Amino acid sequence: MDRDYTCRVFLNSLFLMLQMQPSTSSDSAIESFIAQLQNICGTGSELESKYLGSTDQRRRSRAWSSLFMFMPWILQWSNLADFVDWLFVRLKSEILPATRHFVEWSLALVLVRCPEFRPLLWRHLKNFRGKAHITISLCTVSLFVTRKRYQEHQFLTDLCDSLTPWLTCNHFTVRAYAQWVLYTAWQLADRDVVKSTGLTAIAPLVNFLVENPECQRHREQFYLEYALSAFDVEEDLTIDYIFSGHGQLQGYTTDEIISSHAFGRVLLTAPIAIPLLNETRKTIYDLWQKKALQLPVQVDDPTSSNVVQRKGDVWSNHEVDFSIPFEKSQKVPRLPLILAASLLEKPENLGGLSRTCEIFGVETLVLHSMKVTTEAAFQSLAVTSHLHLPLLEVLRRNLPEFLTAKRREGYTIVGVEQAESSVALNHASIPERIILVLGNEKGGIPPNILTLCDMLIEIPQSGETRSLNVHVSGSLVMWEYIRQRLDTGNVREIA
């Protein structure tokens, strides 16, 4: 546990307890905190905002988590209408799913508790010139509300009227989301309710969605997403989900996740506006995550010998001891080495690199897509290393822009490639702060990236095979980087 972790626990605990002491001064303080959090949620670098795991994205995700501490108070707020307008604005601006989920969740909570705001949702859904990502989020909000209000005649009638046109949309994802929402409403609602609402008029269409094999196949993808298949906007409003469950499902690194036990140690028996934990919901999303990620369930064998290989404990299960002084609880700093692996395609290579990066204490592993971390081939080599390693999503097309921005921050761009100007690894003097760029398995590093490299390194070889596997190459260069620091005493010994 470090200073950052402790500050977040104490500050968010303060936010919770502040609402339990209603007064003019506490209300004024809450409004001030909300305004500051809104400002953080609504600002940020356009470049950094694109990347999951970036400093900007982490800062805004933390702000959203803290903003949710005030959600019970916000739902009673006299300025709730202005807050809802702000949420609709954020819906158009948020890029990453991790932060968009908070916007969608906030809107859904308001629409579940305050039906007078629902016409705003229908009006936005009837804007047929809206961008696809906005319509998808509006469908997601509709889905969240549907799960709580599927027995209300007026809601289902308005839902059917607003969503049916999107079933004919040329954009596949928008069409799929609209189908999923109406299918969910159809499955949840009683037949008597269906008969008295607009769903009756589209009964043949819904029956087609139910029985068509292609539609069934598309629905399977929605079942893989917890937010789209099982999330409950009210029951999941817990400290555990906001600070732990959500982060795990979104692929946050472990240093962004806070256990509800930490809050329990601070709050003790103090009354709070949001429960620490909903055991039933936690069981659901824990089981869902294991199933989705195909993680084995480990059972301790009390008869087994202690003389076994020790692989380490799961970080999120650690209890937080707030009696430890800050200076004794600081984490060992990571090495100023960023591994840029956006050009790689094979999950096996990326999984192996994840494990190597985590063991060597690399600053960040850059991936083309975070989705690769859910693939079995990745996990078979990564084991659980990606849960303890800062990851950053940078699309291949954005890699030149990312490298240029990092050079301005003082990083040296080092490519691993066989080229005329390459320096042999055993003769290379590797700078302190570097971004190590690995090439594609087949094509290597493309020319537009090569021109950005300040230094090229190749690994000497004497065999007939043209090159090493990229995972092996990257690991060798990382080790040489560390070895040079070990020789100079600029890095800790690796046990």
Long-range pairs for 330-334: beta carbons < 8 A, 24 or more residues apart = 330/2, 330/3, 331/2, 331/255, 332/361, 332/492, 334/361, 334/362, 334/363, 334/390
Q: Is the pLDDT of residue 98 over 90?
A: no
User: Distance (Å, rounded) from C-alpha 169 to C-alpha 325?
Assistant: 58
Is the per-residue pLDDT at 413 higher than 90? Answer: yes
CA angle 298/304/310 to nearest 5° reads: 65
37 with 29: CB under 8 angstroms? Answer: no
For residues 105 and 71, is the Cβ–Cβ distance under 8 A? no
Residue 239 exposure: Cα atoms within 13 Å on the Cβ side = 22
pLDDT at 342: 93
CATH number given to 3-229 = 1.25.10
pLDDT, the chain, mean: 82
The tokens describing 136, both together, are 């998808």
Give the percent of the chain with pLDDT over 90: 42
Cα distance between residue 265 and residue 319, in whole Å: 9
What pLDDT shows up at residue 488?
64
Q: How does 180-197 read in b/e, with b if 16+ C-beta sit within 10 Å?
A: bbbbbbbeebeeebbeeb
Q: What's the pLDDT score for residue 465?
A: 74
Compute CA distances 411 → 88, 118, 306, 342, 439, whole Å: 38, 49, 45, 17, 18
Task: Compute the average pLDDT of residues 149-165.
Answer: 90
pLDDT tens string 110-131: 999 999 999 999 999 999 988 8
Half-sphere exposure of 222 (CA within 13 A, CB side): 24
Instruction: Evaluate if residue 301 carries a pLDDT over 70.
Output: no
Cα–Cα distance measured from residue 52 to residue 373, given in angstroms and rounded to the nearest whole number: 13
Confidence of residue 219 (pLDDT cuts 50, 70, 90): confident
In the sheet with 391-393, reading across from the earlier edge strand, the strands are 391-393, 362-367, 335-340, 434-438, 412-416, 455-458, 423-424
**Does residue 468 surpass a pLDDT of 90?**
no
- State the pLDDT at residue 324: 39
What amino acid occupies position 224?
L
Per-residue pLDDT averaged across 266-283, rounded? Answer: 83
The residues spanned by each domain of the chain are 3-229, 335-488
Q: Is the pLDDT of residue 48 over 50?
A: no
User: Which amino acid, one-letter code, is at 464?
Assistant: E
CA dist 26 and 46 (Å) reads 35
pLDDT of residue 178: 94
Higher-pLDDT residue of 274, 2 = 274
Please, are residues 266 and 243 in contact by the beta-carbon 8 Å criterion? no
pLDDT score of 176 more than 90? yes
Average pLDDT over residues 222-250: 88
Topology of domain 335-488 in CATH is Alpha/beta knot (3.40.1280)
For residues 55-73, average pLDDT: 89
The residue with greater pLDDT, 307 or 207, is 207
Binned at pLDDT 50, 70 and 90, residue 487 comes out as low
Split at pLDDT 50, 70, 90, the class of 23 is confident
Mean pLDDT for the stretch of residues 462-485: 88
- What pLDDT sits at residue 317? 38
Burial 367-392 (b: 16+ CB within 10 A, else e): bbebebbbbeebbebbebbbbebbbb
For the chain, state the CA radius of gyration. Answer: 25
Which pLDDT band holds residue 322 (cuts at 50, 70, 90)?
A: very low
Across 203-207, 237-241, 466-470, the highest mean pLDDT is recorded for 237-241
Q: What distance in Å separates the CA atoms of residue 97 and residue 228, rounded to the nearest whole number?
A: 12
What would the pLDDT profile of 70-85 be if each residue is shown by its tens digit?
A: 999 999 999 999 999 9
pLDDT at 415 > cutoff 70: yes
What are the φ and ψ backbone dihedral angles of 330, each rounded to 5 degrees? -70, 140
Burial 225-248 (b: 16+ CB within 10 A, else e): ebbbbebbbeebbbbbbbbbbbbb
pLDDT digits 0-9 by tens, 3-18:
778 889 999 999 988 8
Model confidence at 325: pLDDT above 60: no
pTM score over 0.75: no
Q: Give the model's pLDDT for residue 313.
A: 33
pLDDT value of residue 74: 95
Cα 107 from Cα 101, distance rounded (Å): 10
Q: Are 362 and 338 in contact (CB under 8 A)?
A: yes
What is the rounded CA–CA span in Å between residue 79 and residue 84?
9
- Alpha-carbon span 179 to 172, nearest angstrom: 11
More confident residue, 145 or 488: 145
3 residue type, one letter: R
Q: What angle do CA 387, 278, 231 make, to 5 degrees?
A: 70
State which amino acid sits at residue 207: N
Average pLDDT over residues 378-396: 86
| Two structure tokens written together for 316 | 């999120």
Query: Where residue 198 falls among pLDDT bands split at 50, 70, 90?
Result: low
The predicted structure's pLDDT at residue 52: 56
pLDDT at 311: 37
